[in-house]
Chains A and B, each alone.
Chain A
Amino acid sequence: MEAGDLELVAFTLRIAALSTLLVVGPGIACALLLARWRGPGRGVIETLLSLPLVLPPTAVGLLLLWMLGRHSPLGRALVARGLDVVFTWKAVLLATTVMSFPLFVRSARTAFEEVDPRLVGIARTLGCGPVSAFFRVTLPLAWRGVLAGAVLAFSRALGEFGATIMVAGNIPGRTRTLALAIFSESQQGHDERAMRLVAITVALAFAALWTTDWLTHRRARTTEA
């Protein structure tokens, strides 16, 4: 590994970790809503949430670029506050967060749906408020799916390419992640470095998956003992 590689890995890991952190809170809220709420408008929310899964990432990236650009009210408001997002690391974070959000929500939602709502009801009759019932019953019973979702989101963020390049560009030292670097290096005929970066991403993916596996199995054993 060269010095440049290390920086690249550190930046990519930081972005992936940060976007996973950003995804978890709102993602859990969204997943709970979809798992429990049966009211009108549910289908619309569901479709909107799944959009980043089915759209080409470049299309999502372009939409984000348009939303944050100087021609949109949001973009103007951000610039007026001195917040420049486009073509900075914040844009990378935004792109990876948006792209990994639906993956996390899907996994967490399935996990929440598998928690018997009556158990939550029982927790309520035993004196728990809704928040306490969530942390004492729903989450402990669904944590595997939530963790799996977080790993999925993390892995997706590690490998995000299309949306990132649209909204953040591919600026070495500023917005270039591992995935973007692999593309650039191979475009420029630096096959050896490209392959080395591929090897690093493979190692990172393995590490993430094995960590989850180890965590879930260890917990499973202590739970069932």
Chain B
Amino acid sequence: MKRLFGVFVNGLIIENPLFIIMIGLCSAMAVTTTVANGIGMGVALTFVLVMSELIISLFRNLIPESIRMPIFLIVIAAFTTIMDLEMKAYFPVLSKSMGVFIPLVVVNCIVMGRVEAFSSKQPVLDAVFDGLGMGIGYTWVLIAISVVRELLGNGTLLGRQIMPSSFAPMIFFILPPGGFLVFALWMAASNDLRRRLLAGRKPEPTQDSCCTLPDNSSAEKA
């Protein structure tokens, strides 16, 4: 149980997909102009990630090494399309405002990266918890960015007017440069927190790359 918790927590800060592994950034920049979009994208990606990791971990011994990539893609694409159809049917407004970014979850590096680096080599439960951790790690960052961008750039939160009417919205934060700035500031804060968390457990090797992950997690198990 403790091991699974470790796998789950890993994605939140220590190995956050956006701040540390630094993959899947373009969707994170593009959809975070409103909080609703941020939450929607986060939930959509978490769903696809958990389901793909689950299925691939389940079948990991039945996937030939040489064609693993196309098989991963088929699984990811199938779940993304399911997500897309479900959102169109039950959350049409959200689906419309996120437009092309939902189908583009297919090529989101986070999904492909985690499937390749983690779930294709780990047991099912670990894979699900990794998917949850990474997904929530992605979601909280999107929400953090979009709260700042929507509040300062539009004066609203979740579409509700928060700032007084005398407040002139700073369009800068809605535009891409503002997105990068907010992203960088949150990254600085998160990495500072991470450094302090890691200072407690010294022997841990640095986990800066997605590619070193399988070794690290087996070390964790031991």
Q: Bound pair: A and B? A: no
